[in-house]
Amino acid sequence: MDGFTLGDLVAGSEERLGIVAMTGSVLMKRKINDIRVRHLGDSAAEPKPFPGGVVIMAPGLLSGIKELHKECLQDICESNPCCVFLSRNQYPPDSLKNRLQRHGIALFTSFYDEHMLESRLLGLFNEKLHQRTTMHGVLVKKAIRGILIIGDSGSGKTASAMKLIERGYRWVADDVIQIERKDPEKLHGSGHGLTGRLIEIKGRGIVDSRSVFDSASLCSEAVIDLVISLSRKTERDGINSRHRMGKAFIEILGIRLPKYTLRSSRSIDETVDRIDSIVSRHGCSGGLP
């Protein structure tokens, strides 16, 4: 993405990143071409951060910054990262704010710890910069349509998807689904890395999909047209009959997809009947931008 800026990264994602304070708002137009995250703990011997990267400062480094870590702070400024994040709701001293501002480096404070903050930053980079994300669920395909089944743990996602294969659907992936926006109007889903061919089957453990289905029932990718969300909740838990077959929309990487929420039945066959009925009467072209 040409001209991607720090503002593009942060805008609308303040809650997701746990941002509670920032300085250097005028620096939000700074361009980002290649973003990498570097943790800086309380060791002065840690490597210098990457130029143009994101630095996460742990509490140990900040508490001793005036003494033991002067060189480390100088390295941060000279390496010219696009921004610095203080984890765990740390309050930045004026000396740090002023020094970073003089070097044109934005400063954020987040209430998340270093590891959660890094995970969220990298996920956000993939979504906004590379138009890529992951979701937990099962992806199957009928004709040219991809159906992403998501929902509560134990709601029968994998079991339902396997039953759909018996009805002529094709298997794409289980558990971690990688989703990419490869063109303006469509989301492409596939298995994630080395785990893309694996299925976790109750009572059998983790197996290779090629040992479960024949080659004609497998495919590597599908354009996602529809999302089915399975819930274990009952009317007593707050899902009534009006919502069981309720249609809504879910936005993934800027594209709105139709989403149906179903309460899982005690009978897998009944759940599959309802999923198949929705898919059979549903038609769309890959999502609504």
- 172-180 mean pLDDT: 94
In whole angstroms, give the CA distance from residue 236 to residue 104: 55
In whole angstroms, give the CA distance from residue 151 to residue 251: 16
DSSP bridge pairs for 207: 199
In whole angstroms, give the CA distance from residue 1 to residue 32: 9
What the chain holds in terms of domains, given with CATH numbers, is 6-128 (3.40.1390.20), 132-281 (3.40.50.300)
HSE-up of residue 116 (Cα within 13 Å, Cβ side): 12
Q: What is the 3-state secondary structure (H, E, C) of 245-280?
A: CEEEEEEECCEEEEEEEEECCCCHHHHHHHHHHHHH
Q: Quick check: 50 pLDDT over 80?
A: no
pLDDT digits (tens, 9 = 90+) for 108-148: 999 999 889 988 988 888 888 778 899 999 999 999 999 99
pLDDT at res. 264: 84
* Top-ranked range on mean pLDDT: pick from 97-101, 121-125, 133-137, 236-240: 133-137
> Phi/psi at 13 (nearest 5 deg)?
-120, 15
Q: Quick check: 47 pLDDT over 80?
A: no
What stretches of the chain adopt beta strand conformation (E)? 19-23, 37-40, 54-57, 83-86, 106-110, 132-142, 145-151, 170-183, 186-191, 198-201, 205-208, 221-231, 246-252, 255-263
